[in-house]
Structure 1
C-alpha cells in the first residue's frame, strides 16, 4: 500500500527537510503530504504566484523524486480564498461565496503549469472544505480539474468531500450522493480519487489521545470501502493518526491492515503528522533527534512494505537491517545490545550512501553524525540522556568546521568555535550569562582580535593583537556611543596613543599621545554648532599619574587662546593670548579651587597695563601701569562685591597719594613725599567738595583749611612745631577775605590789622577754635593700605609674569 506522511509547518516557513525525506524514505514511506495556505502561494485572487514558496515547493519535489517519494501538494485552506491563515478564517471568503470558483481554478491552473512535468506530484485540491453545499463544491472541483488538465498536467488529483471530509460519514452525506454520483467528477485524464480523513477518537476530531476501541479504525472505514467497491471509486486516506498507547496502536494496525485488504479501493494514505514543530504533538511521528523512531513507527513501518533482517553479532549485540521495496541496498542498520537497547543506527540515502549515524553511549549520551554525498562527515551533534543538545558541529565542503556548544535545555549556543580547513581555530564566539557576547578572532592559531558586545549586539570593546601576541589596539564604546581607540607599543606594555571618535566614526573627539616618560599630550576636538566643522579645542599635557600638567585652549583658527599650567600644589598659572596666538594678553594665577589670586594684563606691545590681586578675604586690588613703567601709576582697592574702596596713585618723582572711601561716602585723600612723609591730608564729600585740608612740613602741621557747609573757607597757619596756630584767615565762598587773626606766644588771638595788644585779645567763635584745634591735634593717618607691601607683591608678580612673557616669546 502507498503509505505516506503529512509533514506540516510550511505556514511558519518550516518546510520538509531533506533529512526528513531521507528518514521516511528509509522507512519505506511512498509519499509526503505538504500542506500550504492559499495566501502563501498567491496573495490575491488571479494574482501571480509568489516566487519564494513556489520555488521551495519545487525544491522539495525535486529532492523527493530523487528519493523515490511522491509529493502531495495539499491546499490546506478549508475552502477559503487568499487572506489570513484559514484556521483563523481571515478576510479570504469561502469558495462559491466571497471567493469565486474561477479564482480557485486560476490558482490550480497556475500551480499545475509549474509542476506539469513532475511525475511524482499529486494535486490535493483542498483540505476539509467548509463550502456551503456539495453542488457548489462540485462545480469548483470540476473547474479546478479542468484548469489542471488544460495546463498539461496529467498527475493524480485528490478530491475531498464536505463535512470535515469524514470517511465514517461519507455515505450518509451529500459526499456520496453528489460528489460520488456517476459522472459527477469530470476528469479528462480519468486520474482522480476521493480524499477522506478519519480519526479514531470519540468525536472523530483528532483532538484526543484516546481511541474508542481497538477495532474502531476498521469500523469507521467499512461503509465507505463498501460504497467504493460498489461504485468503482478510488479512495485516499489523507489524514489519520493515533497516540502511542496500546489500544491506539492496535486500532491503527487494524485500520491499515483493512486498507491493505482492499487494494482495489484504497490507493494509500498519509499519516498525521510529522514536522519540526510537532515534537510534542500526541500523534507525531517526527523522529527524535531526526533519527530515533516514535512508538507509532513500528506499526506504520509494518505496512510500508519494508522488511527487516536480524543477525546476532559475535559480541552478543543484535543487528537489524531494513530494506524497502525498490532499493537493493539496506536503508537502516540498527545495533541493539542483548537487552534490546539501541546502541547505534546508520541511515542510508537513495543512492546507498551513508547519510546519518547515531551512537548511544553508556551514560545515555547521543552522538549524531551526518555525511555528505562524498562520504565524509559534514555534521555531528552530541545530546545528553534527556536528548538536550550539548554540541553541534558542521563541516563545509571547503573544510571549514563550526562547533556550537549548548547548556542542557538551552536552544541558543553559549559558544561557537570556527576552524579553518587546516583544523586551526579561527574564531570563537561566547555568549555570557547577561546576554553579552565576546568574539575571539585568531590568525594562525594565535589570537588576533577580541570583540565584546552587549545583549543588543552593540560593540562595547575590541582588542587587537600583533603576530607576537602583544596587544596592539584596544577599542571601547561608552554610554554615549563614542569610541575610544588605544594603540600600544610593539610589546603591548604601554599605550602610545588614545583616539576617541564620534558614534559614527566620522570625527575625532580627542587624540592623546603618550611619551616614554609617562607624560601625555591630549588634543580635544569640538564643534560650535551642528553645522560647523569639528576643530581642535584644547591640548592637554598629562602627567604619568593622569593629572593634567598643562592645558592649552585653542581659538577656532587653531591658535592658542590660553595656556593653563597646573602647579604641584594644584594651583593654576594661566596665560591668555591674542586671537592670532602670538601675543601674551594676560598672566593669571588661581588657587586649587580656581579662585583668582592675581592677573597681569599686557598691551599688544607686551608691556604691563594692569595687575589684579585678590586677597584671601575676597578683596581686590587693581594696579594700573603707564606703558613701559616699572611701577604702577595707581592701585585701586575693592571689596568682595567689587565696590571701590580706595586708590593709591604714584608719580615718577616718587610721590604717593591715597584716596580712601569714608563711612559717609566721602573721600580721604593723603599725599606722601618721596621719603614717605605725609604732605597733606584732605577730606571731601561724596560729590568731591573739599571739607578740610591739612598740610604738613617735616612731619608737623603747617596749615589747615576748613570749608564750611555755607561755602566759607577757614585757613589756619601753624608754627614750625605744628603745635599751635600762628594765623587764621576767614574767606567767603569766592575766596574774598573776611577776617584775619594771629596768635601770640600765649595763644591769644588778635586781629591781623590791629596792633598787638590793642583792645586786648579777641575771642574766636567756639566752633572755629574747636575745628582748628581738633585738626591740629589729630595725628595724620596711615595710608588706606600698606602700599609698600602691595608694591613688593606687585613687583614679585610682575617679575614672574615678565619671565612668562619672555618664555612665551
Structure 2
C-alpha cells in the first residue's frame, strides 16, 4: 500500500563521467609558458604563451580543451608574495581569448613539486620550500581566477615525483584543495598522480588519493600515459626498439581506469602523445583514444605550442600542413561516444521527468514541481550530497556528482533514483 504522499520511482541511467561531448571535451596541451630554464626569465625570449591564431587552429579541429602549462616562479616570483600582475594578465588573456571561442582551459602548474630559488631547484618539504608555500599560491590564484567561467579545472601540480617523506603528495594536495576552497567552491580541482602521474604505477604510488577530501565534491584525477619503453615520452628508439605493440596504451592506462571505476571517481588523461615516424605509433594512439572514450575518460594531447620546432610529438601544423597525429585526434572527435546512454521508465505520478537534451548538460527537467521547490540528493550511505532548487521545472548544477546511485527527494516524496 502506498503512503499518502504517493511516491515516484524512476530508474534511469545518468552518466556524469567523461566523454567527448562539449562539456567534457578532448583537447591539447599548448606549451610555451613552461619553457626555459631561466627563472623567472623574460617573456618572448625564454617563454611564450599560445596565440589567438593557435586557438583558432585547434578549435577548427574540434580540440576545445586547452591544458595551459605555466610556472610557479613566474606567477609568484617571491614565495608567499603577491602574484606577478603581468603574468596574471597573460594567463587571463588566454582565458578570455579561449572563452570568446567557446573553449575551456586547464591551468596546469608545471612544477613537479619544485621551485627554483637563486638558480637552484628546491623541493617541497625542504627547509626553503614548504607545503604552506604552495597552498598560499593556489589560495591567491583562486581569488584572481574564480570568476572565469571557462576554467575546466585547476591543475594543481604537474607530475609530482621523488618527494620528501615529510611532504608526501597526499598532504600537499589536500592543503592545496583546502586553500582553493576558501575562495572558490565551484571550479574543478585536477589532482595528478604521484610518480610522474604514471597511469601504469597508479596503484603503487597514487591509490591513497581516493581519500582526499573536497567539500565541493569536484575532484578530477589526472594520469599521464606514453607508449615508449620507459613511458617517459622521449621515444628515443624505433617502434620495435621501444617494445611497442598496438594495445600498449590500453594496457598502460588500465590500472588508472580500473581504479576510477572501483572507487567511482572522475578521471582525465592530461598527457599522451606519439611520434609520426612510424604508422604503427598512430595505430596505438587510435586504439588508446578509442579505449578512453569507451570508458568515458577525456584527455589532452601532448603537445601543441608555437615554439616546438621539429619536436617529434608536436601537433603544431607545419605551415598549412597538419601533422599526421592530427588525423587520429580528429577521428575521435567526429565519432559517437558510448557514454551517452539515457533512458527512463516506470513513471507513476503527475511528476514527470524530461531528460533534456542529453545527460552531459547536467540538468533534468521535472514537470509538476513549482519554481522554488527544493530537491535533496542523497547517496546510498544516507548522506546528503546536494540540494538543488527547481527553476522553471529544472534542476541544474549536477556536474559535481560522480557516476553512481543517488536518491532524489522532494519533502517526503521520492522523486527518483539515479543509477549508473
Using the size of structure 2 for normalisation, the TM-score is 0.67
Equivalent position of 1:124 in the other structure? 155
Contact in 2 for aligned 1:113/1:153 (Cα 8 Å): no
The correspondence for 1:24, drawn from 58, 65, 87, is: 58
Number of aligned residue pairs? 293
The correspondence for 2:126, drawn from 97, 103, 109, is: 97
**Distance change in 2, residues 1:40/1:21 (3 Å):** same
> Tell me, what secondary structure is at the counterpart of 2:232?
coil
Q: Deviations over 1:110-159 (max 9, x none)?
A: 11111101121121011111322597211111111111111125211110
Equivalent position of 1:257 in the other structure? 290
Aligned equivalents of 1:306 and 1:67: distance in 2? Answer: 22
Equivalent position of 1:205 in the other structure? 232
**Distance change in 2, residues 1:132/1:66 (3 Å):** same
**Distance change in 2, residues 1:193/1:27 (3 Å):** same
Equivalent position of 1:145 in the other structure? 177
> Tell me, what secondary structure is at the counterpart of 2:332?
coil
Contact in 1 for aligned 2:125/2:166 (Cα 8 Å): no
> Tell me, what secondary structure is at the counterpart of 2:256?
helix
Aligned equivalents of 1:294 and 1:153: distance in 2? Answer: 39
Aligned equivalents of 1:79 and 1:261: distance in 2? Answer: 32
Q: Deviations over 1:253-307 (max 9, x none)?
A: 00000000011xx2x1111111111130001000112x42110000001112379
Equivalent position of 1:292 in the other structure? 321
Which structure's CA Rg is the greater one? Answer: 1
Contact in 1 for aligned 2:223/2:256 (Cα 8 Å): no
Shift of 1:83: 3.2
Q: Deviations over 1:565-602 (max 9, x none)?
A: xxxxxxxxxxxxxxxxxxxxxxxxxxxxxxxxxxxxxx
Which of the pair is proportionally richer in helix?
2
The correspondence for 1:80, drawn from 105, 109, 114, is: 114
Aligned equivalents of 2:74 and 2:335: distance in 1? Answer: 35
Equivalent position of 1:115 in the other structure? 145
Shift of 1:92: 4.4
Task: For structure 1, list consecutive stretches of 5 or more residues without a partner in the other structure.
Answer: 85-89, 308-809
Aligned equivalents of 2:289 and 2:189: distance in 1? Answer: 22
Shift of 1:24: 0.5
The correspondence for 2:205, drawn from 151, 154, 174, is: 174
Shift of 1:161: 1.6
Aligned equivalents of 1:305 and 1:150: distance in 2? Answer: 40
Contact in 2 for aligned 1:115/1:153 (Cα 8 Å): no
Equivalent position of 2:280 in the other structure? 247
Aligned equivalents of 1:247 and 1:272: distance in 2? Answer: 18
Shift of 1:238: 0.8
Contact in 1 for aligned 2:177/2:214 (Cα 8 Å): yes
Alignment of 1:137-536 (within 5 A): 137-171=169-203, 173-176=204-207, 178-180=208-210, 184-208=211-235, 210-211=238-239, 212-244=244-276, 245-263=278-296, 266=297, 268-289=298-319, 291-305=320-334
Aligned equivalents of 1:151 and 1:213: distance in 2? Answer: 46
Shift of 1:17: 0.5
Aligned equivalents of 2:124 and 2:312: distance in 1? Answer: 32
Task: For structure 2, list consecutive stretches of 5 or more residues without a partner in the other structure.
Answer: 1-19, 36-45, 337-420
Shift of 1:57: 0.4
Contact in 2 for aligned 1:7/1:273 (Cα 8 Å): yes
Shift of 1:106: 0.6
> Tell me, what secondary structure is at the counterpart of 1:187?
coil
Contact in 2 for aligned 1:157/1:191 (Cα 8 Å): yes
Contact in 1 for aligned 2:250/2:291 (Cα 8 Å): yes
Larger relative contact order (C-alpha < 8 A, sep ≥ 6)? 2
